[in-house]
Structure 1
Amino acid sequence: MIIILSPAKTLKMEKVLNTNLYTEPLFIREASYLIKELVKYSPPEMERLMKVNSKLAQQNFMRHIMWKEEHDLSNGKQALLAYDGAVYQGISAGELSQQQLSFANDHLRILSGLYGALRPLDLIQPYRLEMGTKLKNRRGDNLYSFWKNKLTTYLKKELEGQNDNILIDLASKEYSSVIDLSKINIKVITPVFKDYKNGTHKVITIYTKRARGLMSRFIIANNIILPSDLKEFNEEGYSYNEHLSSDTEFVFTR
């Protein structure tokens, strides 16, 4: 079983670590190529490309200049500890044990516009590159054309090494759509989180992000490898709603 997550836009790179173990990103050469393309953009061009304000454009312009292909603990941080935001606050990776981090490294993959796919202990350097960015590259006009075949092949191989071919999709559509599921013979289960509001259950984005992190932590903390065990998730008032669920969509309501 493999879980996929989206990255976060914000990072916390200060060195407060609960482990010194790390791994090197699998697609470091591809990331290096993309950085070389990005450094061609001036701050004003970066502002238009990334659809960010001038301050963020300048920050990322400097990040691209400072980025190095060699990753170690002097210039990088483990991905699961570096990403910030609602999903990763839900995971609270800084509180995970060594055994739990090892389990996460085997079963969790973070999809990234720059790094492709990251294991939790893969080091990353400061960056911001969303999968939806229309960055022209040697494979096409956007990052989907750059990553789709490579990441589809990679995940297919990863899942073949597991006890079953099951993908738990906790990523946003922006990121999960980079995987061509028609080319992988797997079962995909998508947990959906809904809150009761105005007489009905609705998906509320900010709550969903945190819930995805809580679900990821639940899987990691309990060494879950059977999809059926996901139904026991009951963090922060959520519970499995059998009436709204299907074989491929597990709905949790509160």
Structure 2
Amino acid sequence: MIAVLSPAKTLDYETALPPVTPTRPRFADEATTLAHAAAHLTQKRLSELMHISPALAKLNADRFGDFDTLPERPAMFAFAGDVYTGLDAKTLDEAAVDYAQDHLRMLSGLYGLLRPLDAMRPYRLEMGTRWAPRQKKLTDWWRDRIAKLLAEDVAAEGSETILNLASQEYWAAADGKLPAGIRVVAFDFREGEAQKFVSSHAKKARGMAARWMLEHRIDDIEGMKGFDTDGYAYDAAASTDAQWRFVRR
């Protein structure tokens, strides 16, 4: 089973790293192409495209302009935010990190598909961005390349199953493009008796579910029904074959 997460806008390039050996992103050349193209966008255009402040637009314009010289960091330890608070990668033991390299993937607007130890440079480019070189939007630029690589990883792992813990925006890069025979199960996290959806809680729960999978070395999707971190429990009555609901009462 391969679990898939969204990336995060918030990045951490300061916290001390555990002793890991970075790997090269499989779409490193594509990332460089995109970054060099984005370097030609004005700060005003970046602000409009990303719906960000002028200060953030300048930060990201500088990042694209200096992309080739920026520091690198393994992706699982570079992303921060709610999902990665739940994952808490820095406290995983060595065996769990090794397991993650084979069983966890992160979708990325710039890097396409990242393994946990793939060395990435700081950036901000969301998959839903309505810009790309010679295309109207980023998902058109990536075409089916992300889905093909993800399918290769699933085939190598052997389970023919993907645990989709990504947002709809990022899953759109693979949705409808995977070969027949790959099963995809998405998790839906809810709160209380009313089973209310709370975005920030759901994001953190996605990271916690990924961590639970890594810690317990889950390789069969049925084993994920036991996920119980922070009081969440599988709700069979509210689940379907393609979407499983977990509720924290």
Give TM-score scaled by structure 1 length: 0.93
Kept after mapping to 1: 8 A contact 2:159/2:219: no
Equivalent position of 1:32 in the other structure: 32
- 1:148 corresponds, among 133, 143, 146, to 143
Separation (CA, whole Å) in 1 of partners of 2:178 and 2:59: 38
**Alignment correspondent of 2:125:** 129
Match of 1:181, SS? coil
Aligned to 1:67: 67
- Unpaired segments of 5 or more residues in structure 1? none
Return the letter of the residue paired with 2:228.
N
Identity %: 34
The one-letter code of the counterpart of 1:98 is E
1:114 to 87, 110, 129: 110
Structure 1 pair 19–148 and aligned structure 2 pair: CA distance change class (3 A): farther
| Pairwise CA distance, 1:15 | 4.7
Q: Could you tell which deviates more after superposition, 242-251 or 162-171?
A: 242-251
How far residue 182 of structure 1 moved from its aligned partner, in angstroms, is 4.9
Contact 1:91–1:217 (8 Å) recurs in 2: yes
Amino acid at match of 2:186: T
In structure 1, the residue matched to 2:157 is: 162
Residue among 221, 226, 230 paired with 1:227: 221
SS state of the match for residue 144, structure 2?
A: helix
Counterpart Cα distance in 2 of 1:132 and 1:163: 30
Q: Cα offset for 1:49?
A: 2.0
Identify the match of residue 203 of structure 1 among 197, 200, 225: 197
The one-letter code sitting in structure 1 at the alignment partner of 2:241 is: D
1:17-43, Cα deviation, whole Å (9 max, x unpaired)? 012311011101101110111110121
Distance 2:173 2:158 in 1: 24
Amino acid at match of 1:237: G
TM superposition shift of 1:250: 1.4
1:128-150 superposed Cα distances (whole Å, 9 cap, x missing partner)? 11011111313x21110011311
2:212 maps to 1:218: yes
1:87 alignment counterpart: 83
Counterpart position of 1:48? 48
Number of corresponding residues: 247
Conserved? CA contact 2:86–2:204, under 8 Å: yes
Q: Per the alignment, in what secondary structure is the counterpart of residue 202 of structure 1?
A: coil
Instruction: Give the whole-Å Cα distance in 2 for the aligned partners of 1:233 and 1:136.
Output: 39
Runs (4 or more) in structure 1 with deviation over 2 Å come to: 180-183
What is the alpha-carbon distance in structure 1 between the residues aligned to residue 22 and residue 47 of structure 2?
33
> Whole-Å Cα distance in 2 between the matches of residues 146 and 40 of structure 1?
17
Task: Give RMSD over aligned pairs.
Answer: 1.4
- Secondary structure, aligned partner of 2:7: coil
Change (3 A) 1:76 1:183: closer
2:176 to 156, 177, 181: 181
How far off is 1:44 after superposition? 1.6
CA contact (8 A) 1:15 1:77 kept: no
User: Deviations for 1:186-245, whole angstroms, at most 9, x for unmatched residues?
Assistant: 11111111102xx52122111100000000000011110011110111111111111111
Cross-structure match for 2:11: 11
Structure 2 unaligned regions, length at least 5: none
Hey, what does 2:98 align to over in structure 1? 102
Distance 1:128 1:116 in 2: 13
